[in-house]
């Protein structure tokens, strides 16, 4: 987790977590703070250092030599956070990203190999089920996706993705990558502190995961990262493009009238940023009219598709609970999110964006080539 603090003010551990890495100075400042269960650890240490024994007269006598007694210490049940000053010129300030925080669980299924693309959704579903099981009755809707009847359903909820080690090495995750890949547990912007505590508590101590393909060993990184500064920015002369990993599946593919596959891809972006677009430009109508309205708003924000190709092998492996009568049409693509997502942000799109599909990974190209390619013929 990254906490923003304004220069000259006291740092706070409140809910303001957004920050991007500072280019100079001592920021971000890394500090270890208490996590769930820390109070119990400190109580145990205190009992060990101060056993219940009534004082004797000898304890009160002056001693010829006073010695410093080192109390036992432990870093158990702590986690690392980073503090950085607010940049008032940051255009992302005040805008809630689709996902706010990212927890990383390094994963190794014993083969020493990266989990195959067609198995990643299944592994993410297994982790989600294990998380719900560990929470037990009363798991929050942001985890289960089951909201009370009549309640407003947010555009995004908790998401779980798998990222291979080479991609993880490009991210803001600290330290060497000692596993073939890792699961990313992404908390949405609307998550409450109580819900976050429930999720963190359920993940604490989770060291193994079972799926129909076997058993994986998990290793938490111990640091919560800010989703808005998960990736490094593009290099000089490059433009930030994204490619869905391993593939993405559009929620809506066919509409009457003028509607192409590119519109379906942009609609997926619209679904992710639906709440933000509604807040800034007014409510989005329901049904087909709303789909076209979302696509238009996404285009106005500069988003576009440079290239796409449909993925025909194992299409059902990349979709989670497709609606009856709808066929999964996974694809890979090069796309721009325009002003919707910062160049360093972490997000996912498509029908399976909450469980293993459509994670946007940087795929930069020369800026001039991108300017010519976006909006051009495929």
Average pLDDT for 148-161: 94
Distance CA 38, CA 53 (A): 25
Identify which has the larger pLDDT, 6 or 184.
184
Average pLDDT for 45-58: 75
Structure-token pair, residue 307:
């290239």
**For the CA atoms of 324, 330, 336, 342, what is the dihedral angle to 10 degrees?**
70
Rounded to the nearest angstrom, the gap between the alpha carbon of residue 218 and the centroid of all alpha carbons in its chain is 17
Q: How many CA atoms lie within 13 A of 245 on its CB side?
A: 20
Please, which pLDDT band fits residue 84 given cuts at 50, 70 and 90? low
pLDDT at 42: 85
**Residue 245: strand pairing partners:** 359
Distance CA 234, CA 165 (A): 20
Sign of CA pseudo-dihedral 89, 92, 96, 100 = negative
User: Cis ω on the peptide bond leading into residue 240 (within 30° of 0)?
Assistant: no
Distance CA 360, CA 246 (A): 9
Average pLDDT for 232-255: 93
CB 267 within 8 A of CB 253: no
Distance CA 72, CA 49 (A): 7
Q: Is it the case that residue 5 has pLDDT exceeding 60? A: no
Alpha helices in 187-336 (DSSP H): 193-203, 261-272, 274-281, 287-300
pTM of this structure:
0.77
Q: Is it the case that residue 370 has pLDDT exceeding 60? A: yes
Q: Is it the case that residue 3 has pLDDT exceeding 50? A: no
Rounded to the nearest angstrom, the gap between the alpha carbon of residue 340 and the centroid of all alpha carbons in its chain is 16
Average pLDDT for 230-241: 93
Helix crossing, 287-300 with 261-272: angle to 10°?
80
pLDDT at 50: 75
pLDDT at 81: 63
pLDDT at 345: 95
Q: What is the mean pLDDT of the chain?
A: 83
pLDDT at 67: 60
Distance CA 272, CA 340 (A): 10
Question: What is the per-residue pLDDT across 288-311, written as a single tens digit (0 to 9) for each?
Answer: 899 999 999 999 999 999 999 998
CB 30 within 8 A of CB 82: yes
- Map tokens 């964006």 to a residue: 353
Burial of 80 (0-12, 13-18, 19+ CB in 10 A): middle
Alpha helices in 99-206 (DSSP H): 117-135, 141-144, 165-168, 193-203
- Map tokens 């299409």 to a residue: 315
Structure-token pair, residue 103:
């927890």
pLDDT at 91: 41
CB 350 within 8 A of CB 268: yes
Q: Is it the case that residue 250 has pLDDT exceeding 60? A: yes
Please, which pLDDT band fits residue 195 given cuts at 50, 70 and 90? very high
Distance CA 304, CA 309 (A): 15
The C-alpha angle 23, 28, 34, rounded to 5 degrees, equals 170
Structure-token pair, residue 230:
């998960």
């Amino acid at each position: 987790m990254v906490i923003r603090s304004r220069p000259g003010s006291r740092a706070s551990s409140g809910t303001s977590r957004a920050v991007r890495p500072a280019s100079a100075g001592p920021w971000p400042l890394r500090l270890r703070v208490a996590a769930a269960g820390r109070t119990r650890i400190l109580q145990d240490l205190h009992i060990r250092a101060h056993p219940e024994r009534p004082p004797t007269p000898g304890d009160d006598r002056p001693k010829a030599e006073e010695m410093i007694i080192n109390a036992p210490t432990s870093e158990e049940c702590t986690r690392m956070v980073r503090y950085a000053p607010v940049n008032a010129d940051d255009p992302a300030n005040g805008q809630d990203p689709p996902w706010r925080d990212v927890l990383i669980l390094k994963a190794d299924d014993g083969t020493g190999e990266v989990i195959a693309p067609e198995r990643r959704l299944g592994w993410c579903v297994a982790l989600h089920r294990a998380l719900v099981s560990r929470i037990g009755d009363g798991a929050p809707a942001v985890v289960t996706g089951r909201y009370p009847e009549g309640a407003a359903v947010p555009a995004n909820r908790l998401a779980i993705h798998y990222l291979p080690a080479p991609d993880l090495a490009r991210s803001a995750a600290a330290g060497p990558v000692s596993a073939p890949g890792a699961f990313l547990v992404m908390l949405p912007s609307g998550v409450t502190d109580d819900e976050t505590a429930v999720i963190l508590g359920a993940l604490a101590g989770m060291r193994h995961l079972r799926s129909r393909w076997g058993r994986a060993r998990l290793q938490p990184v111990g640091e919560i990262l800010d989703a808005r500064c998960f990736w490094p920015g593009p290099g000089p002369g490059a433009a930030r493009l994204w490619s869905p990993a391993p593939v993405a599946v559009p929620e809506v593919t066919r509409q009457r009238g003028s509607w192409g596959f590119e519109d379906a891809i942009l609609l997926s972006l619209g679904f992710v940023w639906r709440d933000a677009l509604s807040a800034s430009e007014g409510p989005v109508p329901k049904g087909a009219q709303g789909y076209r309205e979302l696509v238009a708003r996404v285009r106005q924000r500069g988003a576009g598709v440079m290239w796409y190709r449909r993925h025909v092998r194992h299409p059902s492996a990349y979709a989670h609970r497709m609606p009856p009568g709808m066929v999964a049409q996974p694809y890979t693509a090069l796309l721009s999110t325009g002003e919707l997502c910062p160049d360093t942000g972490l997000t996912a799109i498509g029908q399976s964006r909450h469980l293993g599909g459509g994670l946007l990974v940087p795929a930069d190209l020369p800026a001039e080539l991108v300017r010519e390619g976006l909006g051009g013929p495929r």
